[in-house]
A and B are shown apart, each in its own frame.
Chain A
Amino acid sequence: MDAVSCTVRIASPLRSYTLGATSVTADGATLREILANLDQRFPGIRFRMVDEQDRIRPHMRLFVNTSEAKGLSESVGAGDTVHVICALSGG
């Protein structure tokens, strides 16, 4: 698959990595590639979302447009929006 450019919406807990940006662009044809591209530009951001076994962390959700991704092999198309969402309950 050819790399495409998409928009990534950044949840507030991760904006310390993007210098406060709520939305950034990233290149890649899959979520794995998108996150690798993001990590090159914003070092450390990927490991806060994805563990060392390439599993999305329990309190993170990744959506491609309106569909929740179950893994990093999910395809991303040109012009898609990847949403990084944090899911936490309790005080």
Chain B
Amino acid sequence: MASTLWISTRKGAFALRADAARKIWKLAGPHFLGHIVHHIVQDARDPRVLLMAAKTGHLGPTVFRSVDRGRTWCEASQPPAFRMAAAGEEARAVQRVFWLTPGHASESGTWYAGTSPAGLFRSEDGGERWDPVAGFNDHPMRSKWVTFGTPDGEFLHSILIDPRDPKHLYIAVSIGGIFESTDGGVDWMPLNEGVAADFLPDPAVPFGHDPHCVALHPLKPDRLYHQNHCGLYRLDRPERHWVRVGRAMPKSIGDIGFPIVLHPIDPDTAWVFPMDGRTVWPRTAIGGKPAVYRTHDAGKTWRRLDRGLPSSQAWFTVLRQAMCTDQCSRIGLYFGTTGGDVWASTNAGERWSCIARHLPEIYAVTHAV
């Protein structure tokens, strides 16, 4: 299976293409040099289609669409945008399109987008025209759910669709929490029981949490994992109470980070990239010694994987969209760093090699076939 990694960076998009053995990687690009690219996602329903969330320092946010595997791109004719505010309402404007998710397998052409400020948008024509999902954006509780925004604005991300039911959706808002809809986005409920919110005056609140990345296992959709600002969690539905599986991480490492990536077949296996969340939150590899941690038993135990990674003085981190797997029989695992390097492992993280250096700050790494 041919492998391409799409690299979204602060200064444009790049593609890394592998030979059959995934030993030789060729870098192509930049595409859209100077654009701030937050996410590039392939449509599994039609692998020729890719969507890219982008803006520039000056210009407003938009979505580009390719129907030829990224050779050419066209801009959406109606990018995600909030509705015009009525008198007295908060006048929200999309600052960045942050996250893209293809719709359910049965809903050809449907896509979802998450934005900052926190907004959910849906396209039914393959990403050409986007409409607000009023059920979340205008929910009577929205202003309470996302009241504790950071100065850069809160992000809506981790849009997850239950493969058994296109109307069963999860989203995450950082800061705001995780929310679930069982009616296609008409109504939403918080899903944050058991999750810490150490930064709030009342850590036991039902919403206001800071999920960094949420993942649902495609073959066991009742299992979710969740890397939060305050820990690492697992949830097996229909339970509503998240279990802090990060308690099993070494104390010297802790369980703070941005990404969490699931094995495409084995729901008990996941990888994280811990970062330093102590004192002033350096958000770097801990001690300047980057490492991936893997569980094989749904979070009961974690093992350090750092062979081939720098052993000292490496102070990058890995952002929430910047780690992924491929779908090869020997699972490949990849991450891009804030320092602009891309690292690859073709043995599930046992050994790492650097496959691209000196790129701009990497926001996302996604796999395409």
A59 touches B81 (CB 8 A): no
* CA A60 to CA B58, docked complex, whole Å: 6
Q: Dominant SS at the A interface?
A: loop
* CA A24 to CA B306, docked complex, whole Å: 56
Does residue B62 face the partner (Cβ distance < 8 Å to A)?
yes
Given A47-B79, A50-B60, A55-B93, 10 extra CB contacts under 8 A: A13-B58, A13-B59, A49-B59, A52-B81, A52-B83, A52-B93, A52-B94, A53-B92, A59-B59, A86-B58
Task: List B contacts of A14 (CB < 8 A).
Answer: 59
Does residue A1 face the partner (Cβ distance < 8 Å to B)?
no
* CA A82 to CA B84, docked complex, whole Å: 26
How many A residues touch the partner, as a band? 20 to 34
Does residue A57 face the partner (Cβ distance < 8 Å to B)?
yes
Does residue A20 face the partner (Cβ distance < 8 Å to B)?
no
Q: Point out residues on B near A: beta carbons under 8 Å.
A: 56-60, 62, 75-77, 79, 81-85, 91-94
* CA A87 to CA B62, docked complex, whole Å: 19
B57 touches A59 (CB 8 A): yes
- A44-B58 contact given A52-B82, A52-B94, A53-B84, CB 8 Å threshold: no
B57 touches A57 (CB 8 A): no
* CA A55 to CA B59, docked complex, whole Å: 13
Q: Dominant SS at the B interface?
A: loop
Q: Interface centre among B59, B75, B76, by most A CB within 10 Å?
A: B59
Task: List B contacts of A90 (CB < 8 A).
Answer: 57
Digit string of A48-81 for contact with B (CB within 8 Å is 1, else 0)?
1111111101011000000000000000000000
- Within the complex, which residue of A51, A52, A88 is in contact with B58, where a contact is CB–CB below 8 Å? A88
B85 touches A53 (CB 8 A): yes
- Within the complex, which residue of B59, B77, B84, B85 is in contact with A57, where a contact is CB–CB below 8 Å? B59
Task: List A contacts of B91 (CB < 8 A).
Answer: 53, 55
Task: List A contacts of B79 (CB < 8 A).
Answer: 44, 47
Task: List A contacts of B75 (CB < 8 A).
Answer: 44
A-B interface pairs (CB < 8 A), number: 55
Q: List 14 A-B contacts (CB under 8 A).
A: A11-B58, A44-B79, A48-B62, A49-B60, A51-B81, A51-B93, A51-B94, A52-B93, A57-B58, A59-B59, A86-B58, A86-B59, A88-B57, A88-B58
B62 touches A44 (CB 8 A): yes
Q: Point out residues on A near B: beta carbons under 8 Å.
A: 11, 13-14, 43-44, 47-55, 57, 59-60, 86-88, 90
How far apart are B11's CB and chain A's nearest CB, in angstroms? 10
Closest 9 interchain pairs by CB? A51-B93, A52-B81, A48-B59, A86-B58, A53-B91, A59-B58, A88-B57, A48-B60, A13-B58
* CA A11 to CA B56, docked complex, whole Å: 13
- A87-B58 contact given A52-B94, A53-B91, CB 8 Å threshold: yes
* Nearest residue, chain A, Cβ from B82: A52
* CA A20 to CA B81, docked complex, whole Å: 27
* Nearest residue, chain A, Cβ from B74: A44
* Nearest residue, chain A, Cβ from B55: A48
